[in-house]
Structure 1
Amino acid sequence: MLQSHQNNNLPMSQPTPPPHQVPKAILYWNPSSVWSTVPRLALLEKGYNESDVILKEVDISKGDNFSPSYLRINQHGTIPTLVVPVLETTSDDMETRYRSFKDTMSILTFLDSSRTSASNSHASPSSQARPAPTLSPATMEGKTLSDALTLSVHLSSADPNFLLLSARTSHELVLKEAGFPGRWIKMRQEALLRFTDLLEEGSQGRIFLQKKLDANSILFDIYYSPSGPETEARRKVFFAASQKAWSVGVVEVLKTLEEEMVGVYALGDQVSLADLHLIAWLARVVFLSQGGPTSAGLDALERQIAGHGAGGPTDQASLKVGPKVKAFWNSWIGRDSFKSVYVNGLH
């Protein structure tokens, strides 16, 4: 059972559990969310039992992460979010209060520290026998490298969420408009309009949603506005940004991983916190390259970077994925946690 010992807690609207039933942690996630993969992998790598954490899916395709009820949990409207009961409020004589962790880094730190090789799971006898390896670096040098590698895949220059929506040519834009990216942008637009209207004029929540709506409207116009000089000029900028994200942003991340990783995993021969971020990012870019969870997936990534996945070749020279990244990928696609999280394919 996950519990928070800190008192800077967040009151949550949760049902009161029956007497003597300790409330559980809740992970708000979505199976298609690249960063939701990170805590899912962590739970498996740490040996948490299925009954230790409640998985509550947030339908981001319908914009439910911007609903007033979800914004009370995470005011940024992002997923994943981990909500844990505060230990001091889990007795029968008081209302349980909760604390939320709103980003993958803080979620992983909490999950790693909440279950160690010396701790016991309260879920079932079977989970008590499962391993709970420490994923945090053991040295300052290791932490510095771990933080740097983690940061590299979270840079805006190679944002996997932008890569999902990006298009480098008119042909690619047409394909994405007819697929999930186009549907997602349209449904997100509708949800933001609906939820914005529900909030009071001038409120912080409405101001936040209006900013999100303004940003999404730019993408909506690029995808759906009729052709014209203004639209074409905006699309030209979008195509250039998309090309840069692949040919510069993704390439730089791959180079960083190749240069900085120590062994078959980020910090050596054992899985660490950094690995969970790195493999989630790499799985997403392989997926967007139409590759699968096999060694050949990296071949698809090389073709995508070269431009062949965007409707035709570009001037960008083909990049060969280095031996460290290949070893990292091949090690991960064979791990049980990876196979479980990606059982229905990469995303």
Structure 2
Amino acid sequence: MADKFTIYSSGESQWVGVMHLALVEKGLKKDIDYNVKEISLSNGDNFAPEYIAINPNGTVPSLTAPSLSKPITESADILRWIDARGTKTLAPEDAARSKEILDLMHSPSMSTNLILFQARDADEMAYKKGSAWNAFLEGRQTRLDKELAAQPTHPFYVSKTAENLSVTSLYRADVGPTHEDFYKMTDGMYRTLAAGLDKLDSLIALPYAAGSRVSEADYNTVPWLAHAMMGADTPVADVQDFGPLERLIQKTVPDFKIGSKIKEWWSNIAKTEAFKEVYPVLH
């Protein structure tokens, strides 16, 4: 009998979707096959020393098991470990295409933090300051400040506190000329994001991302797109509505459209049981 494992999850985390899609695909059951430990990102629980000991990057998800010599801390690796329990079902038909898709979706240039936290002008900045994302950043900053005060030379807390503060300080400041460089940087990042989505459209094989069956390429792309759509203020029950995300990007790239292959793929993958269970709404 396979050993019972533990997953570290959060409803606020984008990449836990990769893990949960794989768990449903494999038919694994909570409390029978695995235990769940919930981590609050808005409270900065992923920055607690106890969690940093499990995942030195302070990211969620993570997975531990008696048979593992160390935790697994990357979502793509967690999916592969889960898929290896029994007959593999998520190995891609086209491994090279799948690798390109995974590399793209997990690249820093495609981070959905752009959509959630950044702004291109004073109106966007004022809107973000009045949103829940402001409280989210402040919650993280409070926890990081606390942990840094306790361990002032710890390399993780030194770097992560400064990284979070670089954005939080802009939210704390009055909207004005000090934000101009931030706006310009954000505008350029939206151009890169648009180009990345065009590349994704060119990579999708159909009917699924890497061929004729669902694979890791699909389950590493669904969480990204669902999170991006949610961050663009798509009504969470409208899982097929790309309009808000398109309009958000069009502010920088006026002729941008979600590609036809992405739309067809999304329609296909949304019909699967794993998608229906994990993404009844966008998150």
By the TM > 0.5 criterion, same fold?
yes
AA partner of residue 105 (structure 1): A
Deviations 1:48-79 (A, max 9, x none): 12321112110110111111111111111111
Partners in 2 of 1:70 and 1:218 — Cα distance? 23
How far residue 293 of structure 1 moved from its aligned partner, in angstroms, is 5.1
5+ unaligned residues in a row in structure 2: which ranges?
Answer: none
CA RMSD of aligned residues (A): 1.9
Percent same amino acid among aligned pairs?
Answer: 29
Q: Is the 8 A contact 1:305 1:318 kept in 2?
A: no
Q: Is the 8 A contact 2:239 2:282 kept in 1?
A: no
Q: Is the aligned partner of 1:68 residue 2:49?
A: yes
Task: Give 1 or 2 for the bigger CA radius of gyration.
Answer: 1
5+ unaligned residues in a row in structure 1: which ranges?
Answer: 4-23, 87-96, 117-132, 308-313
Q: Is the 8 A contact 1:2 1:84 kept in 2?
A: no
Q: Is the 8 A contact 2:115 2:232 kept in 1?
A: no
Q: Is the 8 A contact 2:6 2:64 kept in 1?
A: yes
Query: Which of 133, 152, 172 pairs up with 1:181?
Result: 133
How far residue 241 of structure 1 moved from its aligned partner, in angstroms, is 2.2
Partners in 2 of 1:341 and 1:296 — Cα distance? 15
Partners in 2 of 1:298 and 1:245 — Cα distance? 19
AA partner of residue 245 (structure 1): M
Query: Which of 72, 94, 104 pairs up with 1:101?
Result: 72
Matches within 5 A, 1:200-211: 201-202=152-153, 206-211=154-159
Matches within 5 A, 1:143-162: 143-162=95-114
AA partner of residue 127 (structure 2): L
AA partner of residue 269 (structure 1): S
Q: Is the 8 A contact 1:293 1:333 kept in 2?
A: no
AA partner of residue 179 (structure 1): S
SS of residue paired to 1:42:
helix
- Per the alignment, residue 238 of structure 1 pairs with 182
- Per the alignment, residue 216 of structure 1 pairs with 164
Partners in 2 of 1:2 and 1:197 — Cα distance? 42
SS of residue paired to 2:255:
coil
How far residue 332 of structure 1 moved from its aligned partner, in angstroms, is 2.4
- Per the alignment, residue 249 of structure 2 pairs with 305
AA partner of residue 174 (structure 1): A
Deviations 1:157-200 (A, max 9, x none): 1211332111122112222222221001111111001112222x
Partners in 2 of 1:318 and 1:293 — Cα distance? 26
**TM-score, normalising length from structure 1?**
0.76
Matches within 5 A, 1:327-338: 327-338=264-275
AA partner of residue 135 (structure 1): L
- Per the alignment, residue 174 of structure 2 pairs with 226
Partners in 2 of 1:271 and 1:296 — Cα distance? 19
Query: Which of 192, 200, 216 pairs up with 1:249?
Result: 192
Q: Is the aligned partner of 1:47 residue 2:27?
A: yes
Higher relative contact order, structure no. (Cα contacts within 8 Å, ≥ 6 residues apart): 2
AA partner of residue 90 (structure 2): L
Partners in 2 of 1:298 and 1:163 — Cα distance? 14
Q: Is the aligned partner of 1:172 residue 2:124?
A: yes
AA partner of residue 346 (structure 1): L
- Per the alignment, residue 115 of structure 1 pairs with 86
How far residue 224 of structure 1 moved from its aligned partner, in angstroms, is 0.6
Partners in 1 of 2:146 and 2:82 — Cα distance? 35
AA partner of residue 322 (structure 1): G
**TM-score, normalising length from structure 2?**
0.92
- Number of aligned residues: 281
Q: Is the aligned partner of 1:346 residue 2:275?
A: no
Q: Is the 8 A contact 2:122 2:175 kept in 1?
A: no
- Per the alignment, residue 128 of structure 1 pairs with none
CA 182–2 in structure 1, closer or farther in 2 if over 3 Å, else same:
farther
CA 260–327 in structure 1, closer or farther in 2 if over 3 Å, else same:
same
Q: Is the aligned partner of 1:32 residue 2:32?
A: no
AA partner of residue 83 (structure 1): T
SS of residue paired to 1:34:
coil
How far residue 334 of structure 1 moved from its aligned partner, in angstroms, is 2.6
CA 227–162 in structure 1, closer or farther in 2 if over 3 Å, else same:
closer
